[in-house]
Amino acid sequence: MLIDDAHRYIALRRALGFKLEKAARHLDAFTRHAVANGDSHIRNATALAWTAAVSSTPGGRYQRLQEIADFARFLHAEDAAHEIPQHRRHYRPCVRPAPYIYTSDELARMLHAAANLRRQKPSPLRQHVHAMLIGLLAATGLRVSEALNLRLGDLLPDGMLHIRQTKFNKSRLVPMHPSVSAELDAYLRVRATVAGVDDHVFLTVGGRPMGLGAVHAAFHVVLKKAGIAPDRPRRPRIHDLRHTFATRALARCAMRREDVARDFVALSTYLGHGHIRYTYWYLEATPDLMGDIAAAAEMLAAEVIV
């Protein structure tokens, strides 16, 4: 039965390390629809009709159709009666928005604004939480979700963070600058005076784990108080702190031919990227940086010719 086959497929992929949270929901919904439609095998027509009905965007339809195609290949190896949807003909390139790269002055203003947020009863932690969170993201390039998932046990000796099972099902160690470790220690001392039994590093009112909604709401207030890009049609995001970290790290990369690849691999590992192409994207997203590295590459090429 297709529904059981979908559960079996997801269980096998998860045993190989994939999370597939959205894919599991999508395939469960699709196979239930297909069975209700009278299908005993995956049919291209059913897949196309279902994806068109459940998603209003080309990107959403392509994603669901790709998930069905991967599932269909798995079943096709066992039974050639399963049809594999030709999902690639529906491909639409994903246009990633250009990141906002914060200046050093803007980061300082944001930290000051966060440290002066209005206190909320019954928790006096609001100012400390958001100032520490923004500072940590800017100084380490962590994803917001990674920072919010930090537990006290993940704070290792010698200023090391243990980032567990994140976006690409990877864990990694992230070193912090001594100044960041000192600020984190000061934050933890304040946290210890008001926190309850929850061991998340970042807590909200009532000692509960901080959620993304609360973070984004406070961040918008911080941007406004700090006067960051007030006339920009698209507001800067908290995720742009990660882009800023990566861009500044790349700008400091050595330009010697034998060092460039090493530096890229090191940064890719530090950021927890699943593939180094995601690290290279920061060059595309920052034309000035791309120009600097292109100029350095031309110099290297000239040295070889000479």
Q: Is position 242 annotated as part of the catalytic site?
A: yes
Q: Which of 64, 90, 243, 273 is catalytic?
A: 273
Q: Is position 62 annotated as part of the catalytic site?
A: no
Q: Is position 273 annotated as part of the catalytic site?
A: yes
Please tell me whether residue 40 adopts helix, strand or coil conformation: coil
> Is the four-CA dihedral 155, 159, 160, 166 of positive or negative sign?
positive
Distance of alpha carbon 30 from alpha carbon 14, whole angstroms:
19
CB 270 within 8 A of CB 141: yes
Query: How does DSSP assign 60-91, residue by residue?
Result: HHHHHHHHHHHHHHHHHTT-TTS----GGGG-
Q: Which of 61, 143, 200, 243 is catalytic?
A: 143
Distance of alpha carbon 294 from alpha carbon 244, whole angstroms:
20
Q: Is position 172 annotated as part of the catalytic site?
A: no
Q: Which of 100, 102, 270, 282 is catalytic?
A: 282
Q: Which of 112, 151, 167, 177 is catalytic?
A: 167
Tokens of 69: 């195609």
Looking at the DSSP bridge assignments, the partners of residue 156 are 160
CB 152 within 8 A of CB 253: no
Q: Which of 26, 82, 109, 242 is catalytic?
A: 242
Read off φ and ψ for residue 173, nearest 5 degrees.
-105, 135
* Sheet architecture: strand order including 160-163: 155-156, 160-163, 172-175
Write out the catalytic residue numbers.
143, 167, 239, 242, 273, 282
